[in-house]
Structure 1
Amino acid sequence: MKSLYTRVVLVFICIVMLSLFAAFMVSTWMFEEQKQNFIEETLVKDGKTIIEAYQANHSAELGSFVHSFAGLSIYRIQLYNKSGSPLLEEKEPMHVEQSNIKQVLGGNIARSVDTETQGLPLVGVPLSVKGDPYALFLTLSKQAIEKEQESMPWIHALYVLVLFIGSFLILIAARYVVNPIMKLTEATKRMAKGTFDSANLPMNRRDEIGQLSVSFHEMAKELAKLDQMRQYFVSSVSHEIQSPLTSISGFTKALKQKKMSEESRLRYLTIIEEESERLSRLGQNLLQLSYLQQEQHPLKVTKYRLDEQLRKVVITLEPLWTVKAINMDVDVEAITVHADKDQLDQVWINLLNNAIKFTAPHGTIRIQAMGKAHQHIVSITDSGIGIPEDELVNIFKPFHKVDKARSSSVKGNGLGLSIVKQIIDMHNGEIHVSSSLGTGTTFTVTLPRES
């Protein structure tokens, strides 16, 4: 009973048995009355036929004439005179109520039931001979009843045959229904072991199982992507951590040497300090990214001036762009937004910091902000080295770095743009990037406007 296939088969067989039983009962109930009426009408018709045959042959004696019909037909026949006495000898006496006899002698047709013949109809037809009334009663003979009963086992056998054939078809149909579920079960077991293979699922079906298979296939694809991202994430974190740890370990061992100049010692300590700070930034960014990816992360929404926020970010990073003599062009409209100010601070700092890092000395960075009917648009454009077109789709992934950004002169762990994308998504906004090598890059952030 633990098998779904067994349960489906047993349920279907029970349904077939109940259906057959219900059909038998309903058909018996529906046709019993019709059968009774049909037999009664047949008996009346045959009774009148006997009377008409006798009336066409006046020379025959009534009793012997009717008796001859009783021996040849499937009926039991009895004839009563005007005093209500039976005129024919019978092996099986017919039980007729006197009231029915009187009714027929009075010229009416009587309809009754012979309890001795298992409730079969009993009819009486009036007959007049030379002015004397007679009553002709007919019912089925026991031989006819026995023949009917002999056919009943065949009917029961037919029901059993229907049950057998139906059960066999159910076995096949249930296998057809359960087989896709068994395939889904096997695919689930493979998925639990880390194999995201759903190629054998019945996805061409248009029923609920087909829809379930398609949904399972889509889930398997997404889980496979997540597994790849997890592996990539672990590999990237390991690489980002291993590199500074190797430097720290190597220079720490070098400091243990006794013969070392003060200049070399300070240079080694500076490198160790920088690598430690790099590890600290990596840890902070990982914690922030994990915090932002929590589904229940709340936004501290306030109303403030976006243009003033952008100007403050430019002033905050002034030491970075002035040392490279970068021309900072700020063109922002007076815009009021409803957003998490601290989170958007992180967005503008990360984007502007990247623009400064990849812009050559004496280059230009342009910041624009404008408000439209349903949204606010902020763009940050630099005249830096640009990003290859095939890299644009991946720049928001954690730890992704463009090849030209992998020089030791450019600091970063590849998490900044991932954090930016997560914050923009939380604000129901969008971020797009356009770039070409040698001419610069533009990041465009769109935030919904409060109604």
Structure 2
Amino acid sequence: MKSLYTRVVLVFVGIVMLSLVTAFFITTWLYEERAKGIVRDMLIENGSQMIATYQSTPTAELVPLMQHLSGLSLTHTQLYNAEGVPLLAEKGTSLQVEPRDVARVLAGEKLTDLLRIDTSASHEAALPVIGLPFQVDGQPYALFVTLTRNSADEELMNSIHLLYGLILFIGSFLILIAARYLVKPIVQLTEATRRMAEGEFAVEVPIKRKDEIGILSASFNQMAKKLGMLDQMRRDFVSNVSHEIGSPLTSISGFTKALKHKEVSEENRLRYLTIIEEESERLSRLSQNLLQLSQLQQENMPLRTKTYRLDEQIRKVVIALAPHWETKQIDFDLHLEPLMIEADEDQFSQVWINLLSNSIKFTPINGTIQITAVKKGNQCIVSISDNGIGIPEEERAHIFKPFYKVDKARNSAVKGNGLGLSIVKQIIDGHRGNIRVLGEAGKGATFEVTLPQ
């Protein structure tokens, strides 16, 4: 009973049986109600013709004629005289009538609602009886006519019962096949789910149907594919974190061991300590960025929004980063319209710092960075363009992933841990904004941020 296949089969078979039983009783009731009137009219007509036959034959004797007519046209008769005595001999079918009913017919009443119980068949059956009054030479007689049950009726009923049984058997057999067809995709889904629970995400359920189960299978395959991508992202994330943490730790450990040697000169000692300090700061930045990214990915993290001047915020960030771009003698070209936005000021300060730091990092010496901020409709659009190496078009769909770097070799000359743009993307998405990358590889890159005002 715990199997869905068994339950489906039992439910369908139960429905078929209930339908057949209901249909049997309904059809039997309709048939009996209709047949009862037809049989009654037929018996009245046959009885009337028997009386008319006798009355139209002056030379005929009543009892022999009625005895001869009894049993014809699937009917059986019995004749009673004025004293209520039956006059016809039995012919295999007993027609016993209550004395009170005989008296009523002898008194001139026509009876059409009488029944008799036939026990000669395999099961008892109620058969209709009609009583017709008539007179011979002034003497009252009562003629009772009933239906003779024959083997054809029983064969017909047996055939009907056999038909119901065949319907039940064939229907149940087809239900067994249909249920297996219905349940098979669910069994496949169950097996695929078990494999997925064990960590195997490269599973795919075959889709051969377009109904609800086919849609469910397609959704499962899509879910398995996305879970596989998430698992791969998790593996990459762990690998990237290990790499980003491992490199500075290795440097710190190596130079710390070098400092233990007494032969180290003062110049080398200071250089080693400087490297250890820089690697420690790199680990600190990585830890802070990971914590910030984790907080931003929490959907219930509240935003401390307020209305402020966006153009003034960008100017302050440019000034704050002056030590970085002045050393490379980078020129800034600012075109900032006065813009008011409602956002989390601290988070967007981090957005402009990350984007500008990224542009400064990849802009060559004596290069140019252009920043524009304009209003279009009910949106604010900020563009930050540089004339650096640019970003290949095939890389642009991945640069916002954590730890993703266009520089596959992870050139140590270019500082960064690949989390800055991920943080930028999370902040902008949290404010219902959008960010995209434009430009041509080798001719610089443009980051365009669109924010609702």
Same-fold call, TM cutoff 0.5: yes
What amino acid sits opposite 1:328 in the alignment?
F
Query: Could you tell me how far apart the structure 1 residues matched to 2:417 and 2:79 are?
Result: 117
**Structure 1 residue 184 corresponds to structure 2 residue 189:** yes
Alpha-carbon shift at residue 157 of structure 1 (Å): 3.9
What amino acid sits opposite 2:276 in the alignment?
I
Alpha-carbon shift at residue 161 of structure 1 (Å): 2.9
Which residue number in structure 2 is paired with residue 114 of structure 1? 115
- After the TM superposition, which residues 55-66 of structure 1 pair with which residues of structure 2 at under 5 Å, given as runs? 55-66=55-66
What amino acid sits opposite 1:140 in the alignment?
L
**Structure 1 residue 226 corresponds to structure 2 residue 230:** yes
Alpha-carbon shift at residue 50 of structure 1 (Å): 2.2
Of 84-93 and 375-384, deviating more is: 84-93
- After the TM superposition, which residues 323-342 of structure 1 pair with which residues of structure 2 at under 5 Å, given as runs? 323-342=327-346
What amino acid sits opposite 1:44 in the alignment?
I
Q: Does structure 2 retain, via aligned residues, the 8 Å contact 1:20–1:159?
A: yes
Query: Could you tell me how far apart the structure 2 residues matched to 1:341 and 1:12 are?
Result: 64
Which residue number in structure 2 is paired with residue 138 of structure 1? 145
Query: Could you tell me how far apart the structure 2 residues matched to 1:420 and 1:250 are?
Result: 34
Which residue number in structure 2 is paired with residue 447 of structure 1? 451
Which residue number in structure 2 is paired with residue 387 of structure 1? 391
Which residue number in structure 2 is paired with residue 287 of structure 1? 291
Query: Could you tell me how far apart the structure 2 residues matched to 1:49 and 1:237 are?
Result: 110
Alpha-carbon shift at residue 357 of structure 1 (Å): 1.0
Query: Could you tell me how far apart the structure 1 residues matched to 2:71 and 2:387 are?
Result: 122
Q: Does structure 1 retain, via aligned residues, the 8 Å contact 2:382–2:448?
A: yes
Alpha-carbon shift at residue 394 of structure 1 (Å): 1.4
Structure 2: gaps (5+ residues): 119-124
**Closer, same or farther in 2 for the Cα pair 1:97/1:349, shift >3 Å?**
farther
| Matched residue SS, 1:264 | helix
Query: Could you tell me how far apart the structure 2 residues matched to 1:212 and 1:139 are?
Result: 66
What amino acid sits opposite 1:43 in the alignment?
L
Query: Could you tell me how far apart the structure 2 residues matched to 1:104 and 1:301 are?
Result: 108
**Structure 1 residue 51 corresponds to structure 2 residue 29:** no
Structure 1: gaps (5+ residues): none
Q: Does structure 2 retain, via aligned residues, the 8 Å contact 1:330–1:367?
A: yes
Which residue number in structure 2 is paired with residue 196 of structure 1? 201
Query: Could you tell me how far apart the structure 2 residues matched to 1:326 and 1:206 are?
Result: 60
Query: Could you tell me how far apart the structure 2 residues matched to 1:93 and 1:21 are?
Result: 33
Which residue number in structure 2 is paired with residue 420 of structure 1? 424
Q: Does structure 1 retain, via aligned residues, the 8 Å contact 2:286–2:417?
A: yes
Q: Does structure 2 retain, via aligned residues, the 8 Å contact 1:16–1:163?
A: yes
CA-to-partner distance for each residue in 1:391-449, whole Å, 9 max, x for gaps? 22211111111228943332100110011011111111110101223321110000112
**Structure 1 residue 307 corresponds to structure 2 residue 311:** yes
**Closer, same or farther in 2 for the Cα pair 1:187/1:67, shift >3 Å?**
same
Alpha-carbon shift at residue 61 of structure 1 (Å): 0.9
Alpha-carbon shift at residue 59 of structure 1 (Å): 2.0
**Closer, same or farther in 2 for the Cα pair 1:362/1:97, shift >3 Å?**
farther
Match of 2:324 among 315, 320, 323: 320
TM-score, reference length from structure 2: 0.91
Q: Does structure 2 retain, via aligned residues, the 8 Å contact 1:377–1:447?
A: yes
Query: Could you tell me how far apart the structure 1 residues matched to 2:169 and 2:192 are?
Result: 34
What amino acid sits opposite 1:363 in the alignment?
G
Give the share of equivalent positions with the same residue, in percent: 59
Of 353-362 and 34-43, deviating more is: 34-43
**Closer, same or farther in 2 for the Cα pair 1:140/1:96, shift >3 Å?**
farther
Which residue number in structure 2 is paired with residue 161 of structure 1? 166
Query: Could you tell me how far apart the structure 2 residues matched to 1:250 and 1:303 are?
Result: 50
Alpha-carbon shift at residue 101 of structure 1 (Å): 5.1
**Closer, same or farther in 2 for the Cα pair 1:60/1:198, shift >3 Å?**
farther
Alpha-carbon shift at residue 351 of structure 1 (Å): 0.3
Which residue number in structure 2 is paired with residue 241 of structure 1? 245
Query: Could you tell me how far apart the structure 2 residues matched to 1:431 and 1:181 are?
Result: 42
| Matched residue SS, 1:19 | helix
Q: Does structure 2 retain, via aligned residues, the 8 Å contact 1:184–1:201?
A: no
Match of 1:217 among 206, 221, 227: 221
| Matched residue SS, 2:233 | helix
Q: Does structure 2 retain, via aligned residues, the 8 Å contact 1:379–1:443?
A: yes
What amino acid sits opposite 2:130 in the alignment?
V
Query: Could you tell me how far apart the structure 2 residues matched to 1:308 and 1:287 are?
Result: 28
Query: Could you tell me how far apart the structure 1 residues matched to 2:408 and 2:190 are?
Result: 47
TM-score, reference length from structure 1: 0.92
CA-to-partner distance for each residue in 1:249-279, whole Å, 9 max, x for gaps? 1111111111110000110110011111111
Which residue number in structure 2 is paired with residue 20 of structure 1? 20
Alpha-carbon shift at residue 208 of structure 1 (Å): 1.0
| Matched residue SS, 2:295 | helix
What amino acid sits opposite 1:25 in the alignment?
F
Which residue number in structure 1 is paired with residue 405 of structure 2? 401
CA-to-partner distance for each residue in 1:85-121, whole Å, 9 max, x for gaps? 5432447342145456545753x64212234444321
Q: Does structure 1 retain, via aligned residues, the 8 Å contact 2:84–2:102?
A: no
| Matched residue SS, 2:439 | strand
**Structure 1 residue 94 corresponds to structure 2 residue 59:** no
CA-to-partner distance for each residue in 1:228-263, whole Å, 9 max, x for gaps? 111111111111111111111111111111111000
